[in-house]
Amino acid sequence: MSSKVALLNRITTYIVNRKGKQMRPMFVFLVAKMVSNDEVNERTYRGASVIELIHTATLVHDDVVDDSNRRRGFFSVNALWKNKIAVLIGDFLLSKGLLLSIDNNDFDLLKIISIAVREMSEGELLQIEKARKLDITEDIYYEIIRQKTATLIAACCSLGAASVKPESTHVETMRKFGELIGMAFQIKDDLFDYGDTKIGKPTGIDIKEQKMTLPLIYVLNQASKEDKKWLINSIKNHNKDTKRVKEVIAFVKNNGGLDYAVEKMKQFQSEALQILNTYPSSKYKDSLELMVNYVIDRKK
């Protein structure tokens, strides 16, 4: 990530020192080790680096798009250096990631990652388009989260397999595995908006931003005409009214929205574990199983 530009180095150092869980590179390594019986190579390391570079680039851009001042408990890049610089930093990280693959002829890995970046952009735009109308169905919701979140975790897993067993069936099997984990991961994220004993009060941020998530979609589809009208009106016109947002959260909880979302999340989890169970026992398989369960049980 180093560059001749001092400002760039200052910002990338800031980013590196505030790294998150690094869950995505972990998927790359664990999958590679599971499918190859512990034989990782330089391609695996490069693949994991590319994923982390590109993931970080998308986060820097996301904070600009969402006008967010915090990231992982610290100030975001745009909060400290303003939007223009943040967008350019994101572009720099993205090109660094792509060049790392090109310089080493890892074109198969580059294709996996490039498809993920395209799908992530499409997913975000689809969500914005649908938020305006609030006419979202459960199927469209799954399509949004598949593109927005699941596609990158799917890329990590297929990339891990491709780095050690290029053009094998493992590449597609592991992509599917990662996609299922990603779906469960995003539903879990959506549930946090409705509060959790561990993190305290419900946030209602998704409602304030008119984001249609699974608990709300389910309740809207089950509600009577009057309740539906009240819910849509609340989300469209009263989403800044804290009291009204709390009432919406309570309504969703009392009408089975959270239970339904938890059930769907567990379905994705169990499908992911079924795929994992087709592989022979190893400590890497056990670790991946822990990762799948962590996605469901995490507290933040």
Tell me the torsion sign for CA atoms 182, 183, 184, 188.
positive
pLDDT band at 252 (very low <50, low <70, confident <90, very high): very high
Cβ contact 247:224 at 8 Å: no
- Mean pLDDT of all residues in 11-40: 86
- Segment 208-230 mean pLDDT: 88
Range(s) of the domain holding residue 90 = 6-297
Nearest C-alpha neighbor of 15 from the set 67, 43, 50, 55: 55
Q: Residue 161: its pLDDT value, please? A: 94
Mean pLDDT of 113-127: 90
Structure tokens at 133: 């109308």
Domain assignment present for 180: yes
**Is the pLDDT assigned to residue 134 strictly greater than 60?**
yes
> Considering its fold, how many domains does the chain have in total?
1
Residue 177 placed within a domain: yes
Q: Give tens-digit pLDDT for 59-106.
A: 888 888 877 777 766 788 888 898 889 899 899 999 999 999 999 999
| pLDDT band at 300; cut points 50, 70, 90 | low
Residue in the block written with tokens 């498809």: 115
Rounded to two decimals, the pTM is 0.87
Does residue 133 form part of some domain?
yes
Q: Which residue has the tokens 């890497």?
A: 284
262 domain residue, yes or no: yes
Q: In the predicted model, what is the mean pLDDT of residues 32-38?
A: 90
Residue 1 lies in a domain: no
Does residue 291 lie within any of the structural domains?
Answer: yes
Residue 106 placed within a domain:
yes
User: d(Cα 212, Cα 236) in Å, to the nearest integer?
Assistant: 11
What's the CATH code of the domain at 204?
A: 1.10.600.10
In a domain, 230, yes or no: yes
Query: Does residue 204 surpass a pLDDT of 80?
Result: no
